[in-house]
Amino acid sequence: MAHVVIPPIRRLLTRWGIHPDSHKFPAAGLDIVDAGLPPLLVLPLSQQAGAPARAVVKVGDHVLRGQLVAEAVGHVSAHVHASTSGTVLAIGDAPMPHPSGLPGQGITLRPDGLDRWAPREVEPYPINLAPEEIARRVAAAGVVGMGGAAFPAAVKLALGQRSGIHTVILNGSECEPYLSCDDRLMQECAGDIIEGARLLLRATGAQHLLVGIEDNKPDAIDAMKVAAHPYPEISVVRIPSRYPMGAERQLIHTLLGVEPPAGGRAADVGVVVHNVGTAAAVWRALRHGEALTERVITVAGGAVAAPRNMRVRVGTPLSWLVERAGGLTREPARLVVGGPMMGVAVPDLDVPVGKGASGVLALTAAEVGEREPSACIRCGSCVVACPVGLMPLEMANRINAGELGQAEDIGLRDCLTCGACGYVCPSRIPLVQYFAHARGELMARERERKRLDEVRELTEARAARHEREAREKAEMHARRKAERAAAQAAEAAAKAAATQEESA
Amino acid sequence: MEQMITAVMSLAAIGSGLGVVLGVAARRFAVEGDSRVEEIVAMLPAANCGQCGFPGCEGAAQAIVEGEASPTCCPPGGKVVALAIAGHLGITLGDDDMEEAPKIAVIEDAICIGCTKCYRLCPSDAIVGAMKQLHGVFAEACTGCNQCAEKCPTGAITMQELPATAGTWVMPKPPMAA
């Protein structure tokens, strides 16, 4: 596996995807700087995929950097740690990076400026740890997928142990425009990434590791190749630049030529995909005992004075980051946390960044390029662009007509909501918003249906209870009546016997 | 003459024979009510709250099957039940039929006197409380059937829309192209 090259035939046959302007410079050309400590941090309790974490500190508590402040709840969840030392000011509703703009649960922390770490468990040779121990420590450090979806990394590792993984893929494609945090991380911390990748290999029991990097990041490819050189099981692969190359299925197909079944997982074809940032975080967690308290974020966009990649504490508000990037040169038309294609548009700069945030973008009106949608001209551009091979126009039509079930029948569940269809649409139809709406609506209906079923059960249980109580009452009455009757009869019999005796 | 008698007799024999068969079949394979009514009853929340204006959920199911009521007539069931029934009966629902957001009972702490009337009435055991104790509503179990609010002697119970949270929020449908 030392030299993996993508077969030219597969390159030629690849039709999906789009080639948006990359906008990666100037941030991609500058080294990562530390964003420093903001005056206030807000640690979101729901910054991972799955269930929100439960706070384990109280208001007024003094916490150290890396100290557990909220624990994972349920199987798919992740711990949250204090990202610096300081005092817990509040636990409760705080502004959150959510498309609704609604607040969510968070822990507000006032840094004391000392940035003291909690005791760390240093491990000189973590590669010697047992796979289960690696997964346990990754979970304890609260590491989640750093590519954007923020899926708890330990859950993925445990999944790998169970399902016979032969290949781990490190995702260094970074296909979204503007973002260059993975690019810079690969250039500056290639060693950490490769060491972390070896731990991921050991934890999953896989034999091969492929690092897929888009060909628009030649410096990152070089740095990673040098770092991976001593390890024959690791190969760094140049992959063509196109969006959404970083999507799990598209990356697997490009690198290995196999495709996980619809509705299935990557593990079904013996593969697990991790982001390069996750590998670096895994290394820091195991080697240095550091919980995930910071990450690299690209602060960019036309309205930002000096775009830059920054090492940012989890929970830093957007306003602080924008200020560190030289402030805003003009009023942004849209603020986005994450990439411009799949990120979350947020209402203001008060929201904090979570572990999964790869970018903070302040985009100008020209960059957003929003226009009034016109009617579909049935050109089929969206069908060509769709990386999953769906028919976005047909799905949108059905959703428009309220036939969500029919949209589901033609593949709504397989949609990545990557936005490639909406990007190429000459009529500027907001296709991906239709799909996001339909999926949210279907999920809400499913939730409500489950709730009503439970309420039905309660109602029936209550009816049964009342019936039983009424029956028991009636039975008791009948028994009492019978007892009374028996007593009366006995009395009467006794009386009769007495009179008989008397008369006799 | 003979031919006529033969014809009449044979027709009479066929007629009475078929009549007996039909009579037996009618007895044997009789359908008690419309089976669809039972299926619809199974879909309704069984609160028997009467908000639809029919006597209980069975009455509503009867009316829906007969086409006298819309599947959207059940406020506790909401959109989910309406869509399920419409799908089952092959009725198309308009987009605007179900605009009203679901509501649940909320008890005003300051006015509740702890009389347990609502607690005893709630069809889904969604209210907890005891004599002279403040009562509370389990939002998850409340269908918003309004029976408690009608019986509350102090008017402490009102039906309120659930506030949207980040967990329940759904991206709105984008406006249609002109």
| Residue-level pLDDT at A1 | 47
Whether the CB of A441 is below 8 Å from some CB of chain B: the reply is yes
Q: Is A11 part of any domain?
A: no
- The interface residues of chain A toward chain B in range 89-118, judged by CB-CB distance below 8 A, are 96, 98-100, 102-104
User: Considering chain B, what is the average pLDDT of its residues?
Assistant: 85
* Whether pLDDT at A503 is above 80: no
Q: Test A437 with B77 for CB contact under 8 angstroms.
A: no
Spatial contact of A299 and A321, defined as CB atoms under 8 Å apart:
yes
Dist CA B23 CA B3 (whole Å) = 30
Q: What architecture does CATH give domain B103-161?
A: 2-Layer Sandwich (3.30)
Which one-letter DSSP state was computed for residue B149?
A: H
Are both A401 and A279 inside the same structural domain? no
Query: What Cα–Cα distance (Å) separates residue A29 from each residue in A184, A218, A224, A246, B123?
Result: 8, 12, 17, 21, 66
Q: Which two tokens stand for residue A81?
A: 């740690």
Q: Is A366 part of any domain?
A: no
Torsion of CA B28, B29, B34, B38, to 10 degrees: 80
Which chain A residues are within 8 Å of B166, Cβ to Cβ? 46, 96, 98, 100, 102-104
Q: What angle do CA A283, A340, A24 make, to 5 degrees?
A: 70
Q: How far apart are the first and last CA of chain A?
A: 119
Question: Chain B: residue nearest A105 by CA?
Answer: B166
User: Could you give the percent of chain A with pLDDT greater than 70?
Assistant: 99
Confidence of residue A11 (pLDDT cuts 50, 70, 90): confident
Are both A297 and A437 inside the same structural domain? no
Which one-letter DSSP state was computed for residue B8?
A: H
Long-range contacts, stretch A73-76, CB < 8 angstroms, 24+ apart: A74/A50, A75/A50, A75/A155, A76/A49, A76/A50, A76/A51, A76/A151, A76/A152, A76/A155
Spans of all domains in chain B: 35-89, 103-161
A298 exposure class (CB count in 10 Å sphere: 0-12, 13-18, 19+): buried
A290 exposure class (CB count in 10 Å sphere: 0-12, 13-18, 19+): buried
Q: Which two tokens stand for residue A454?
A: 């439970």
Q: How far, rounded to the nearest angstrom, does the alpha carbon of residue A188 sit from its chain's CA centroid? A: 25
Whether the CB of A132 is below 8 Å from some CB of chain B: the reply is no
Spatial contact of A16 and A386, defined as CB atoms under 8 Å apart:
yes
Backbone angles phi, psi at A313, to 5 degrees: -70, 140
Q: Is A112 part of any domain?
A: yes
- The interface residues of chain B toward chain A in range 106-125, judged by CB-CB distance below 8 A, are 123-125
* Whether pLDDT at A2 is above 50: no
| Residue-level pLDDT at B11 | 96
ipTM tops the 0.90 cut:
no
Are both A109 and A210 inside the same structural domain? yes
Of the three residues A283, A316, A349, the one that is the final residue of a domain is A316
Of the three residues A316, A332, A352, the one that is the final residue of a domain is A316
Query: What Cα–Cα distance (Å) separates residue A169 from each residue in A105, A172, A253, A286?
Result: 34, 9, 11, 20
Of the three residues A316, A339, A364, the one that is the final residue of a domain is A316
The 3-state DSSP composition of chain A as helix, strand, coil percent (nearest 5) reads 40, 20, 40
Are both A187 and A113 inside the same structural domain? yes
Confidence of residue A3 (pLDDT cuts 50, 70, 90): low
- The interface residues of chain B toward chain A in range 17-36, judged by CB-CB distance below 8 A, are none
Sole residue written with tokens 């090492």 = A311
Q: Is A400 part of any domain?
A: yes
Range of the domain at A396: 372-504
Closest CB from B87, B95, B124 relative to A459: B124
Sole residue written with tokens 């560190």 = A324
pLDDT digits (tens, 9 = 90+) for A316-331: 999 999 999 999 999 9
Question: Chain B: residue nearest A461 by CA?
Answer: B124
**Amino acid identity at A85:** S
> Residue A149 is part of a domain; what is its CATH number?
3.40.50.11540
| Residue-level pLDDT at B98 | 61
Are both A151 and A284 inside the same structural domain? yes
Whether the CB of B90 is below 8 Å from some CB of chain A: the reply is no
Pick the CATH number of B35-89 from 3.40.1190.20, 3.40.50.850, 1.10.15.40, 3.40.50.2000: 1.10.15.40
Whether the CB of B95 is below 8 Å from some CB of chain A: the reply is yes
What total number of domains does chain A contain?
Answer: 2
Q: Test B177 with A429 for CB contact under 8 angstroms.
A: yes
Q: Is A362 part of any domain?
A: no
* DSSP letters spanning A106-144: EEEEEE-SS-PBPP----S-GGGS-HHHHHHHHHHTT-B
Nearest alpha carbon to residue A332 among A317, A344, A347: A347
User: Could you give the percent of chain A with pLDDT greater than 90?
Assistant: 77
* Whether pLDDT at A9 is above 80: no
Q: Is A321 part of any domain?
A: no
> Residue A482 is part of a domain; what is its CATH number?
1.10.1060
Dist CA A300 CA A20 (whole Å) = 16
B19: three-class secondary structure by DSSP:
helix
Spatial contact of B129 and B135, defined as CB atoms under 8 Å apart:
yes
Are both A397 and A278 inside the same structural domain? no
User: Considering chain A, what is the average pLDDT of its residues?
Assistant: 92
pLDDT digits (tens, 9 = 90+) for B29-54: 887 777 888 888 888 887 788 888 88
pLDDT digits (tens, 9 = 90+) for A105-132: 999 999 999 999 999 989 999 999 999 9
pLDDT digits (tens, 9 = 90+) for A330-380: 999 999 999 999 999 999 999 999 999 999 999 999 988 878 899 999 999
Are both A284 and A411 inside the same structural domain? no
Nearest alpha carbon to residue B75 among B99, B111, B109, B110: B99
Whether the CB of B78 is below 8 Å from some CB of chain A: the reply is yes
Sole residue written with tokens 């975080």 = A281
